[in-house]
Amino acid sequence: MEGVDHLADERKKAEFNVEAMKIVWAGSQHNLEVSNRISKLVADDPAFRKDDRTMLPRKELFKNTLRKAAYAWKRINELRLSEEEASKLRFYVDETAYTDLHWGMFIPAIKGQGTDEQQRKWLPLAYKMQIIGCYAQTELGHGSNVQGLETTATFDPHTDEFVIHSPTLTSSKWWPGGLGKVSTHAVTYARLIIDGKDHGVHGFIVQLRSLEDHRPLPGITVGDIGMKFGNGAYNTMDNGVLRFDHVRIPRNQMLMKVSQVTREGKYKQSDVPRQLVYGTMVYVRQRIVADASCYLSRAVCIATRYSAVRRQFGSQNGGPETQVIDYKTQQSRLFPLLASAYAFRFVGEWLEWLYTDVMQRLQANDFSTLPEAHACTAGLKSLTTSVTADGIEECRKLCGGHGYLCTSGLPELFAVYVPACTYEGDNIVLLLQVARFLMKTVSQIGTGKQPVGTIAYMGRIEHLMQCRCNVQRGFAELSADLVEAAVAHCQLIVVSKFIEKLQQDIPGEGVKQQLEALCGIYYLSLLHKHQGDFLATSYLTPKQSALANDQLRALYSKVRPNAIALVDAFNYSDHFLSSILGRYDGNVYPKLYEAAWKDPLNESVVPDGYHEYVRPLLKQQLHTARL
Ligand SMILES: CCCCCCCC(=O)SCCNC(=O)CCNC(=O)[C@H](O)C(C)(C)COP(=O)(O)OP(=O)(O)OC[C@H]1O[C@@H](n2cnc3c(N)ncnc32)[C@H](O)[C@@H]1OP(=O)(O)O
Ligand SMILES: Cc1cc2nc3c(=O)[nH]c(=O)nc-3n(C[C@H](O)[C@H](O)[C@H](O)COP(=O)(O)OP(=O)(O)OC[C@H]3O[C@@H](n4cnc5c(N)ncnc54)[C@H](O)[C@@H]3O)c2cc1C
C-alpha cells in the first residue's frame, strides 16, 4: 500500500547509527548536506525525468539529453551553484552526455597540459561553455597503443601553424564522447612532425565547428559512430568519428606545458617525463575509481532491498515464506558486493589524496611518486571497474526475473557502466602496466633501492633476490600470470586502505563495528575465492583456510540484520535509483504491476500488426483444422 514502509521491520534491526554512517559514506557532514540538497533539487524537478529513457528512439533520446544538459546549465546559473554543487547536479541528473567530457576531460587536459597563457585564453571560454570540448585521442586503428596513433600535426614554419591531418582511414578519430554532434573544439592527440622528424604524440586544441552555425569547419569531417550496447544507456552520448583534411591551426594551439615548439620550429622537451602528456588519463582513472563505488552501491542497494522484500519457499504451516536475503547462497553473493562498495569508497578517497599529492610534487619537479601513481590509478581503475561491472550483473541475477525488467533499473545501469572496463584504458592493458611496475620493483630489489609506499611489502621477498631471473625475457610468456599478480597487488591496496580507514576516528554508535565486519567480509571473501593460491604457496594451511571460511559465514550473519540500514546509508533517492525493486518503501509488487500497463505496447489491447500478421495465421489454422 502507498505510504507504508514495507521495510520498516528490517530498519528496526539496525545495530548502528545510520545517520552517522551516511556521513562516513558521503565523506563529511558538508558533503552529505550538499548531496541531500542537490539530490532533492533534481528529484523534485520533472524536467529531469529519466524513467522514459529506455523507450525513446535514438534521435529523440539524444535531443532529450541536450534539453536536460541545457536546463541543468540554466539551473546552475540561476541558482549560482558552485563548481562542487554543479558537479553534484550533473551526477544526480544521471545521464551520460557531452558535458561529461567537456568538464571531465577537455578542461582537465587544458589545465594539466596547457601553459599558463593557454589556460588564461581557453579556460574562461570553457568554464562559461562558450566553447564545448571533447578529448579526441583514440582512433579507429589505435586506442590502447597511444604511441601508435597516426593523426599528424606537421609544423609549417612559413605560416607558424600546425597542419592537422588524417593520413589513413585507421587514423580517423573514433569513440571520443561529445565529438559526434556537439563539441565545437577538441583536445586532439597527434604525432608532432617537424622538418620530417616524428617527435611522438602531443595534444593540440583544434576547433571543429563554427560557433555561428555549428557546421563543421573546412577540412573537418565529423559525425556519430552509431548505436551502442543497450537501450537508453550510453546512447545519450554522441561518441564520434572525426577526420582532418590538412586543417591548419596556430602554433600556440599545441599544449605546451610539457614540451614546446619555438617560432623557429625548434622542439624543446622540458626536463619532465614525457608521460605527463598522459596526465589527463591518470586524472580520469582516479575519478573512475570513485565512480565505481557509486555504481556498485546503487546496484547493491537495489538487490539488497529487493532481497528483503522477496519471499520464496520455506513457508511453515501456512506462515510467510522465507525472505531470500536469509538464504546463505544469497548472502554469499550479495554481501561481498556490499563490502566491496564500501571498500572502493575508501580506496577512492585515498587515491584522490595520492593524485593530489603527486600533482603537488610535480609542481616542485618531484617525479619520485609518478610511477606509483600511474600503477595505482591504472590498477585500481581496472580492478574496481571489473568488479563493479560484474557486480551489477550479479545484482541483476540476485533479483531473479524481475531484475531483467527495465523498471528494475539494473539492465540500464549495467549497459551504461560496462564500457568503464574499456574506456580510459582497457583493463588488461592497464594491469600489464601494473605488472611492469611490479617487475621493475623486483629487478631493483637487492640494488639498495628499498620499495616504499604500496610496494613496501615487496622488500620482504628475499627469495626473489637470489633468482636474478631475466624479468624482461619472461614477461610476455608469463603475462597472464603477471596480470593475476597485478590484480592481487591492487586487492592488497584496497584491503590495506580499508584497514587504515578503520584506524581513523569514526563517530557514531556501532558504525565502526559494521565497517569492521564489512572489511572482514571483503578480505575473507577474497581469501576464499583465491584460497587455491594461498594453499598452493603454503601461505595458509587447510585448517586455517577452513577457519577463514567459518569466520566469513559468521560475518554474513553479523551483517544480515544491518543490511538494509547499510544500503540506506548510501542515501540514494528513489529518483536517483530509478528502480521499482530498490524503492525505499519496498512497495514492489503494486508498482511493478502499475508500471507494466504504462508500457506503450499496452496502449491498445489488440497490438498493432494483429490484423496484418496474426489474424491470417489464425484464420489459416482455422481453415486447416476444418479440412
Ligand atoms: C567520466 C568518464 C568518461 C570516460 C570517457 C572515456 C575517455 C577515454 O577513453 S580517453 C582515452 C583513454 N585511452 C587510454 O587510456 C589509452 C591506454 N593506453 C595508455 O595509457 C598507454 O598507451 C600505455 C600506458 C598502455 C602505454 O604507453 P607507452 O607510452 O607505450 O608506455 P610504455 O612503453 O608502456 O611505458 C613506458 C614508461 O612509461 C610509464 N608510463 C606509461 N603511462 C604512464 C602514465 N600515464 N603516467 C606515468 N608513467 C606512465 C610506464 O610505467 C613505463 O615506465 P618504465 O619505463 O619505468 O617501466
Ligand atoms: C563508451 C566509450 C567511450 C569512450 N570515450 C572516449 C573518449 O572520450 N576519448 C577517447 O579518446 N577515447 C574514448 N574511448 C576509447 C577507449 O579509450 C578505447 O576503446 C580503450 O582505450 C581501449 O582501446 P582499444 O579500443 O584500442 O582496445 P584494444 O587495445 O584494441 O583491445 C582489444 C583487446 O586487445 C587486448 N590487448 C591490447 N593490447 C594488448 C597487449 N599489449 N597485451 C595484451 N592484450 C592486449 C585488450 O586487452 C583487449 O582484450 C571510449 C570508448 C568507449 C567504449
Residue 423 has pLDDT above 90, yes or no: yes
Q: Ligand 1 centroid vs 378 CA: distance in angstroms?
A: 8
Q: Ligand 1 centroid vs 437 CA: distance in angstroms?
A: 12
Helices of type H across 50-142: 58-78, 83-93, 98-101, 107-113, 116-127
Number of the ligand 1 atom closest to the C-alpha atom of 279: 45
The three state secondary structure string of 250-311 is EHHHECCCCEEECCCCCEEECCCCHHHHHHHHHHHHHHHHHHHHHHHHHHHHHHHHHHHHCE
Assign 458 a pLDDT band (cuts: 50, 70, 90): confident
Which pTM does this prediction carry?
0.96
Mean pLDDT on 192-217: 98
CA separation for the pair 255, 527 (Å, rounded): 46
Q: How many CB atoms are located within 10 Å of the residue 417 CB?
A: 25
Going by alpha carbons, the residue nearest to atom 25 of ligand 2 is 143
The pLDDT of residue 344 is 98
CA separation for the pair 247, 161 (Å, rounded): 10
177 lines ligand 2 (CB under 6 A): yes
In CATH terms, 134-270 corresponds, of 2.40.33.20, 1.50.10.10, 3.40.50.1220, 2.40.110.10, to: 2.40.110.10
Q: Which residues pair with 156 in a beta bridge?
A: 161
Mean pLDDT on 439-459: 83
269 lines ligand 2 (CB under 6 A): no
SS3 call for 501: helix
Which run of H or of E encompasses 241? strand 240-244
Mean pLDDT on 286-312: 97
Q: Are 573 and 50 in contact (CB under 8 A)?
A: no
How far apart, in Å, are the Cα atoms of 312 and each of 10, 43, 309?
Answer: 17, 33, 10
Q: Which three cell numbers stand for residue 64?
A: 532529450
Cell 531484475, residue located: 403
User: For residue range 229-265, what is the model confidence (pLDDT) as tens digits?
Assistant: 988 889 999 999 999 999 999 999 999 999 999 999 9
Q: Ligand 2 centroid vs 174 CA: distance in angstroms?
A: 11
Mean pLDDT on 182-204: 98
Mean pLDDT on 536-565: 97
The rounded radius of gyration (Å) of the Cα atoms in the chain is 27
Percent of the chain beyond pLDDT 90? 87
Query: Which of 424, 477, 516, 612 is flagged as catalytic?
Result: 424
Residue 160 has pLDDT above 70, yes or no: yes
Rounded mean pLDDT of the chain? 94
Residue 604 has pLDDT above 80, yes or no: yes
Mean pLDDT on 508-523: 98
From the CA of 237, which ligand is nearest?
Answer: 2
Q: Which three cell numbers stand for residue 191?
A: 604525432
The pLDDT of residue 620 is 76
E strand spans, 141-218: 152-156, 161-165, 173-174, 185-194, 197-207
Mean pLDDT on 95-101: 97
Q: Ligand 2 centroid vs 308 CA: distance in angstroms?
A: 39
Mean pLDDT on 168-187: 98
Report the chain's terminal Cα–Cα distance, integer Å: 54
Q: Ligand 2 centroid vs 627 CA: distance in angstroms?
A: 62
Range of lowest pLDDT (265-279, 490-504, 534-548): 265-279
Burial letters 3-16, b for 16+ CB under 10 A, else e: eeebbeebeeebeb
Q: Ligand 1 centroid vs 492 CA: distance in angstroms?
A: 22
CA 461 vs. chain centroid, Å, equals: 34
Which of 6, 4, 5, 16 shows the shortest CA–CA distance to 565?
A: 16
Does the active-site annotation cover 424?
A: yes
**Global ipTM:** 0.98
The pLDDT of residue 245 is 98
Number of the ligand 2 atom closest to the C-alpha atom of 105: 8
Specify the length of the chain in residues: 627
Q: Which three cell numbers stand for residue 148?
A: 601508435
Mean pLDDT on 110-136: 97
Q: Are 293 and 391 in contact (CB under 8 A)?
A: no
Assign 278 a pLDDT band (cuts: 50, 70, 90): confident
Mean pLDDT on 201-226: 98
Mean pLDDT on 505-514: 97
Residues with CB under 6 A from ligand 1: 100, 104, 135, 137-138, 143-147, 177, 275, 278, 281-282, 284, 370-371, 374, 423-425, 429, 433, 436-437, 440
From the CA of 472, which ligand is nearest?
Answer: 1
Q: Which three cell numbers stand for residue 403?
A: 531484475
The pLDDT of residue 622 is 67
CA separation for the pair 520, 505 (Å, rounded): 18
Q: Residue 422: exposed, middle, or buried by beta-carbon count in 10 A (0-12, 13-18, 19+)?
A: middle
Q: Are 575 and 42 in contact (CB under 8 A)?
A: yes
Pocket-testing residue among 102, 172, 174, 426, ligand 2, by greatest number of atoms within 8 A of Cβ: 426
Assign 97 a pLDDT band (cuts: 50, 70, 90): very high
